[in-house]
Structure 1
Amino acid sequence: MDAQLALHGQYGALLLDVLPLDRTSQLALLEECGIRPALLSSQDAFLTIEQSNRLIQKVIEVSGQPWMGLIFGERLNLMTHGALGQAVLSCNTLKQAIELLLKYYRTRLIHARLELLYEDDLAVLIFDFDQEFSPSYRFMIETVFVCLVKTSMFFFGMKLMHQGHVQLSYEEPEYLKHYKNTFFDGVTFNAPRNALCFQRSLLDLPMAMPNPSALKQAEQACNELMARLPQQTSLVEQVKALMFSPTGEQASLEELAQMLYMSSRTLRRKLSGEGYSYRSLAEHAKITEAQRLLCSGEPVESIAEKLNYSDPSNFGRAFKKKTGLSPSAYREAQSGSVT
């Protein structure tokens, strides 16, 4: 999971500045988190999920403020989001601004999902951070929704929050009073999603600073950033990579879900959405592992036992069904191809 990228590095720099630390202390904290200082200033650099988790946990620990996501969200403004912020600022209407946000949010936050739905007379902007059991999950949700609400208040006052509300998927935190500074009474916990709901008619509201020329330049910059984004490994590929431990033990659905910071139910649903199941991937991973072990010279009987087949015959039948060759024929073919 260390290779999974999550958060633009410049947010790491902004988060670090929340703490009253001198440069030496900042560098020491970054070293503890496994983050090179250069990552925080590059236009193209992203922190991994692991680095983000460590940094967020460390900042919360040092500050003693578990509501740090709310504080951080308050500090962000459109200019802290680079070209994306400039593009949103230059739009003609709220709808255009949200459409641009949906198109380019991955230039700032890769491992997340943002979408706009319509439910009767409501527009529903849904945000989710894939690792629902990640240590930084609530921080990320708090930051994004405070930023969304504060930005909307800057442009439109209380119009979006009037008859609108925020839905959050986690339970009510102990520091509820801090939520009221931003969301007032317009927040619901233990919801089935994380969403900002507002009157659909408000999408036509004019933005305060439309600028077609600046918008064109900002969009071009966003497109260039999108083209340079690192390619993310799909969930299916992640599952395949994590299926077997270095010692050859096969992970259960629950163990995989834990490694991916999500519930087993969510993992099953996401895999199904990509046309796969845990069982089909487990069988595929078994055959792939068997091929590796055969090429390494491992005896067939030992491979069958390691992969939890009842006996070598069952292993042989399963292997041939998937590859068209018996284990011995596969080993011979691979040996011949090497020579």
Structure 2
Amino acid sequence: MEKTPVNKALIGRHTEGLHQIWPLMQSLGVSVSQCLAGTGLSEGQAWGREGGMTLEQEFHLYRNLLQLSGDPMLGLKLGALYHPQSYGMFGYAMMSARTVGTITDLASRYFDLFFSHFQVVDYREGNLWETRLEQRYPIPADLMQVFSDRDIEAGYTIFDALGLERPIFSEIHFCYLDEGNLAAYEEHFGCTVKMGCAANAFVYPPSLADRELPWRNDQAFEACMEACRTLLDDLRGPHSLSSRVVDRLISNPGETHSIEHVAEDLAISTRSLRRKLNQEGTRYQDLLREVRLRLAKQYLRDRLTVNQTAELLGYSETSAFSRAFKRWTGRSPIDFRSSESGTGFTNPARHSP
């Protein structure tokens, strides 16, 4: 996958997640000022009260953390600090999600709301399903382990908080090598760990995606996601290419929307469209799915039949629409329609990535 150029606005907000690090480092006998040495970061930035930081500052900071702690597996301790509440409204969306699959799907579309240098990508084929953490831009080799460990452990921490006991996954993959500590990693995660892989990844059986979560709440989930869409739109800017794509999709919802046709309408090459959307932290299929989902919900709330909704959205078969809707929401269109009343439609071009 092509690496995404650095989005400074998104990297800058990583200071919001720093304040959780300092109690851990202080418990190791290391002060905040020692951690910040040479980074150019202020105490206000360190505690998330002001400004942001550059990618170079973050890399310098994590090199300090590794050196001062003397622990090559520090990333596991750091990842354990990131409970769902650490991610603000997005964390509350995860806590109210219906299924495990809902969370992995959200992570693949809203990864900019994590404090991560990786892009979440779902690969689902047969009985081998993976949620991969793929580099969005080059990460220095000496920091690959700490960032990989932190984000894999953060994923586990989220599911721990939702009541799923380890082992949750069948395998864990890491893109670096540390075979001297392989046994320690397998004991920690309680499953097979493979190193030197193409990407960091959680590997799991398809049945896990359908497992319902204990605090699922559809109404709370929708409210949280609306706030997340607004936040992400603010971070990416009001005149983004993704907003133009969404406007194009909404204007002709019943068409068979190929990326080639949309690129032609926007007077841009397909390759450039993919690349620029990637720079904004999204993908064409994610935008298409978001538009279809929001329109589908509105049509069903307005008491259209499932057949009519599928036709308006350009599906040649109602069964294909029904499967897609259940994959997106964990509910069948009929169940959703029977439980919802009419509400106004808000153009997702202003609220979705």
Whole-angstrom CA distance in 2 between matches of 1:171 and 1:101: 25
Determine the structure 2 residue equivalent to 1:122: 128
Question: Does the aligned pair in 1 maintain the 2:17–2:48 contact within 8 Å?
Answer: no
Q: Determine which of 205, 208, 226 is the counterpart of 1:199.
A: 205
Q: Supply the distance in 2 between the matched residues of 1:18 and 1:178 (Cα, whole angstroms).
A: 21
1:160 aligns with 2:156: no
| Equivalence for 2:194 | 188
Deviations 1:194-248 (A, max 9, x none): 11110012111001111233323321221222022156xxxxxxxxxxxxxxxxx
Secondary structure of 1:156's aligned partner: coil
**TM-score, normalization by structure 1:** 0.60
- Partners of 2:108 and 2:119 within 8 A in 1: no
On the 8 A contact 2:19/2:48 being kept in 1, the answer is no
For residue 164 of structure 2, what is the amino acid of its counterpart?
Answer: F
Structure 2: stretches of 5+ with no match in the other structure:
238-270, 277-353
1:9 is matched with: 15
Q: Deviations over 1:5-44 (max 9, x none)?
A: 536212222223321179x942454352111333345589
* Gaps in structure 1 of 5+ consecutive residues: 232-269, 276-339
The corresponding residue for 1:58 is: 64
Alignment partners' CA distance in 2, 1:199 and 1:142: 22
Partner of 1:71: 77
Residue matched to 1:171: 177
Contact map agreement 2:144 2:176 (CA 8 A) in 1:
no
Output the CA distance in 2 between the equivalents of 1:218 and 1:53: 31
Secondary structure of the 2:122 match is: strand
Alignment partners' CA distance in 1, 2:34 and 2:166: 42
* Contact 1:168/1:194, CA 8 A, preserved across alignment: yes
1:148 to 147, 155, 159: 155
Alignment of 1:240-255 (within 5 A): none
Aligned mate of 2:45, from 18, 26, 39: 39
Give the CA deviation at 1:60. Answer: 1.5
SS of structure 2 residue aligned to 1:113? strand
Structure 1 position 120, deviation (Å): 1.0
Moved over 6 A (4+): none
The one-letter amino acid paired with 2:90 is L
How far apart are residue 185 of structure 1 and its match? Answer: 4.2
RMSD: 3.2
Deviation for aligned residue 1:90: 0.5
In structure 1, the residue corresponding to 2:130 is in which secondary structure? Answer: strand
Q: Distance in 1 between matches of 2:24 and 2:90?
A: 22
Partner Cα distance (1:198, 1:21) in 2: 35
- Take 2:138 and 2:104, find their aligned partners in 1: how far apart are those partners? 24
- Tell me the TM-score normalised to structure 2 length: 0.58
Which residue type is aligned with residue 79 of structure 2? G
With over 3 angstroms needed to count, the CA separation of the structure-2 counterparts of 1:75 and 1:173, relative to structure 1, is farther
Question: In 2 relative to 1, CA 274–222 (structure 1 residues): closer, same or farther, beyond 3 Å?
Answer: closer
Are residues 1:139 and 2:146 paired?
A: yes
Q: Which has the larger radius of gyration?
A: 1
Q: Secondary structure at the match of 1:117?
A: strand
Equivalent position amino acid for 1:143 in 2: R
Q: What are the superposed Cα offsets for residues 288-323 of structure 1, whole Å, 9 maximum, x if unpaired?
A: xxxxxxxxxxxxxxxxxxxxxxxxxxxxxxxxxxxx
Whether the 8 Å contact between 1:52 and 1:136 is mirrored in structure 2 is no
Q: Distance in 1 between matches of 2:87 and 2:69?
A: 24
- Find the partner of 1:217 among 213, 223, 226: 223
Amino acid at match of 2:65: V
